[in-house]
Amino acid sequence: MKLRHLAIATTVAALGAVAASGPSASATPDGRGLPPGGGFHAVIRPVDDATRATMLGVSWKPGCPVPIEDLRIIDMTHRGFDGEDHEGQLMVHEDIARDTVNAFRKLYLDDFPIRRMELIENYGGSDDASMDADNTSAFNCRAITGGTRYSTHSYGKAIDINTIENPYVKGSSVYPPAGRGFLDRTDVRPGMLIDGDITVTSFTSRGFDWGGHWTSLKDYQHMEIPQP
């Protein structure tokens, strides 16, 4: 597909069923970076050459199931745990970029805090290091946890959100280890994804599966578009 810059429109039609009076989503003329001013903003853009160089041999290697050309960087506002607005970045497959923006816009409007939102290259492609930092991230060409087949992250169609507040749990194993303090999902605290509320339905209403619904294990941080 031809590379293109996609500016997220301010209309309800482009962003889904949200109040038109809410904070706008917009883009700078060249499609890079977020404009000044308050409110939610998002820009979807192709992977630039500088980022591509940081990916090679780190988060992307020959044989990965998607080419870099199919991926998009989202520069996006998110609410921090300090109550302030911050600029973050996610990398996802172009097919889910708009739905990803729409879902995170819902979280922003609901004042849902996100610790940090950085590309996995900032952590040397290490999922463990990213989780330990409570980082919200998406694309990373790697195997599933404890397995050998490609994770849905390898397709750019999975997102991990607030990894400490929403740990991966299988038997006695908890990742990241700091997530043990959040195993009681009835003790609801900021940054947790909770079944049945907007933090989960913002994604599941757009076709994502939530790892908190899984039965063999619980991956509370994980949202994915299942691969055929």
Return d(Cα 208, Cα 110) in angstroms, integer. 19
Domain membership of residue 83 (yes or no) is: yes
Structural domain count, the chain: 1
Examine residue 48 and state whether it is found in any structural domain, yes or no. Answer: yes
Q: What is the pLDDT of residue 17?
A: 30
pTM, two decimals, is 0.84
Q: Which domain holds residue 17?
A: 6-165
* φ, ψ dihedrals at 73, nearest 5°: -95, 135
Which residues of the chain are modeled with pLDDT < 70? 1-37, 145-147
How far, in Å, CA of 43 to CA of 45, rounded?
Answer: 6
CB 131, CB 164: distance < 8 Å: yes
Asked whether residue 144 is domain-assigned, the answer is yes
* Residue 57, Cβ density class (10 Å: 0-12 exposed, 13-18 middle, ≥19 buried): exposed
Instruction: Sort 124 into a burial class: Cβ within 10 Å, 0-12 / 13-18 / 19+.
Output: exposed
Q: Where are the beta strands (DSSP E) in 84-150?
A: 85-93, 116-117, 135-136
pLDDT tens figures, 22-46: 333 343 333 445 566 679 999 999 9
Per-residue pLDDT at 12: 29
Q: Report if residue 205 sits inside a domain.
A: no
Exposed, middle or buried, 153 (CB in 10 Å: 0-12/13-18/19+)? Answer: buried
Residue 208, in any domain of the structure: no
- Residue 226 counted as domain residue: no
- What digits encode the pLDDT tens for the residues 181-222? 999 999 999 999 999 999 999 999 999 999 999 999 999 999
| CA atoms within 13 Å, Cβ hemisphere of 170 | 10
31 within a domain of the structure (yes/no): yes
SS3 state at 71:
strand
Which pLDDT score is estimated for 146? 67
pLDDT for 21 equals 27
Is residue 217 domain-resident?
no
